[in-house]
Structure 1
């Protein structure tokens, strides 16, 4: 089916795994094809019959409005659902929303609420105000990094985590010793690392945070959707069973198993509804073994890269956006409870490297269903099969190569 002949057209910003997951979910539910715009072609969306990929190396914040204006003119009169898949595109859409709202249907939160949540320091302050569990933290700015006593009187013990608060500025920097997060054992390391980061061009706040000990056994993820009236309507929670151990990619995941966590779902609902949140959200969560509580680490104002796991439970996440914003349907409150193993790495690698305490959970998920975002039976040309096999080989090698960086072996 040609894009112009569809009832609505999904317009995805990005050409990676998340883009394919969204396109697949919407094709499964509504039979529609997706238009994907990105700076470069990527293997995850290559040779697909359900996605039309268009690339433009200048698709940055300065040019994104004009690029989307051209799409709106091309498909004038059609309902266009705009779905950014990575942080840079999401922030750009939120910033330029006033210029885009008349042409696109955008399932994202307002700029005001986004600013309050995307910056980690403000997110933790918001959690504190709403009595939502989060790691204890101390905020550092650039002048404080020169303090010779920095790190000497923290309200929690070492080791600690240090990470940048501004997750838009920091990933765009390149400097020796750069990591997504740093695990530090004393005050001298805090001072040295803070100086390193600021010398590398970073200018935002840094967060020094209590270290919640544990490997994948304490790591969880959640994807949610809140309707246009600000009511939470969809929650899917998963246990990370194989994380990403490359220091520059910590926080990504190679395999998860969906779980039923009613108390955590209730907490996320209370947080989002208190903010009158609208649109998709993706949470990083850690379980604190000392207190027996789930603590929120981060909120992204879009669905996560691994979020096809939610659709694999049998309850389609992107379909929520369509039913709410395009068809005007009243959505039921849905919390997914089916057990599914979602993987991005080869199954043999997942089984080999998953921590021992999680193996029974992985077995449970495998018996119910094993899902991989890219292996869609309705989109498997020979070229696509070859592309997917290359992806499997690459992710498998990455897991093995970065096993040496695992903090808790």
Structure 2
């Protein structure tokens, strides 16, 4: 099933809107595309390496810092970009966005100096620290009756191995870093984004490897919620400076990535209405004092039919283009909020679309339920989108998108050759 040809590009350049992005992955390009579709602007991308997702693009300019660039180098580069833009005749104050937890934390750590040159849709420091921590997130959810997996927290404070209690979660369990920004700082053999732990011996082995690597934060151990990738849901939202939720939409995941470093990132999904999950998401956003973009990971538990909230990412998320493609352009709420400083009605997706970064024959292989497969095929026939397949781009980009799809086939055959009942 080929990607649906992009709709005609109709945006008119909007001088008062400008965008600077920190990072260089597919989610960064999707943000640049959303702003280009709506406002006709060319975004500036600051990144250590200009990799495929942001290379050879006509909708952005890149500032490449080199792989050795430190966090201080990144901040210095952003400040220089901001000063250069401010010095131009009629220069506007750009929106500055990042789409990785550690980069969001970096922007927050330098919010005072960056805030003089950029619009920063960031959470307050105390809220960011709380929601970015999966253990604290679970506690906050319990305060307002939002369901989460049963969780045990292991604390590696000071770099010492924690005592592992006897678990009453059943086996296997799922283990992952409480804060991805802290986990990014360590390296060890067999490192994964998420671990499936079969028994206590495997858990003790993981604790030992984390200790040897110098990990000094918390790790959460959670009950395994049954179900494959199709039980996962993604919810995307924006909360303006007055606390109003002005963007809200969601999708049912069909297939997640399965490489060790990207496990859990949606590779294919379709937009759908999720009223109960949306209500719970809004409840959490209000309870926490949230501001800016949010991306929730939720899994429907087949044992009780309840959506179990795994985490909220303090950013828009890698897969954000599904919202724009379905009629809820993710650029609109932040521009209305920070640039135009006006209220706007809540923006929700209007269209049912298939978002996929993998070829249809590969996706079909992993959708076990025949009724769901038929439904997805019909949606895909009407509209299938790939965030990198943008009609204004040239031949090099088109070849890259094709190569990226073929590379996904290779990755799945290597890391997840056949569907499993639990998605691992």
- TM-score, L = length of structure 2: 0.90
In 1, Cα distance between the equivalents of 2:41 and 2:35? 6
**Structure 1 counterpart SS, 2:260:** coil
| Corresponding position: 1:34 with 2:40 | no
Equivalent residue, structure 1, for 2:8: none
Matches within 5 A, 1:3-402: 6-57=15-66, 58-76=68-86, 77-142=91-156, 145=161, 147=163, 150-152=164-166, 154-336=167-349, 338-356=351-369, 358-379=372-393, 381-402=394-415
Q: Structure 1 length as normaliser, TM-score?
A: 0.93
CA distance in 2, matches of 1:38, 1:345: 25
Q: 1:301 and 1:146, CA in 2 relative to 1: closer, same or farther beyond 3 A?
A: closer
**1:406 shift after superposition:** 5.4
- Judged with a 3 Å threshold, the aligned counterparts in structure 2 of structure 1 residues 277 and 388 are, in CA distance, closer, same or farther, namely same
Would you say the 8 A contact 1:120–1:298 is kept in 2? yes
Q: Which runs of 5+ in 1 are unaligned?
A: none
1:405 is displaced (CA, Å) by 7.8
Question: Does the CA-based 8 Å contact 2:229-2:256 persist in structure 1?
Answer: yes
Are the equivalent residues in 2 in contact too, given 1:139–1:206 (CA < 8 A)?
yes
Kept in 2, the 8 Å contact 1:236–1:310? The answer is yes
Deviation of 1:352 after TM superposition, in Å, equals 2.6
**Deviation by residue 1:184-226 (Cα, 9 ceiling, x = unmatched):** 2322222222112221221111111111011112111111101
Deviations 1:314-351 (A, max 9, x none): 11012221122111231112332531100111222222
- With 192-201 and 48-57 compared, the bigger mean Cα shift is at 192-201
Instruction: List 4+ stretches of structure 1 deviating above 4 A.
Output: 143-146
Cα distance in 1, alignment partners of residues 156 and 225 from structure 2: 25
What SS does the aligned partner of 1:236 have?
strand
Return the alpha-carbon distance in structure 1 between the equivalents of residues 69 and 375 of structure 2. Answer: 41
The answer on whether the counterparts of 1:118 and 1:300 sit within 8 Å (CA) in structure 2 is yes
| CA 1:187–1:5: 2 relative to 1, 3 Å | closer
CA distance in 1 between partners of 2:360 and 2:49 (Å): 29
**Range with greater deviation from structure 2 (116-125 or 194-203):** 194-203
Q: Is the 8 A contact 1:345 1:396 kept in 2?
A: yes
What do the CA deviations read for 1:265-321 (whole angstroms, capped 9, x no partner)?
111111101222110011111111112111111111111111100111011012221
- Specify every segment of 5 or more residues in structure 2 that has no aligned partner in the other structure, as ranges: 1-12
- Deviation per residue, 1:24-69 (Å, 9 max, x gap): 1111111111111100011111111111011102543222332111
CA distance in 2, matches of 1:368, 1:111: 43
Checking the alignment, whether the CA contact within 8 Å between 1:286 and 1:295 is kept in structure 2 is yes
CA distance 1:65–1:256, change in 2 (3 Å): same
Q: Is the 8 A contact 2:155 2:162 kept in 1?
A: no
* Pairs aligned (count): 402
Contact 1:245 1:406 in 2 (8 A): no
* RMSD after superposition: 2.0
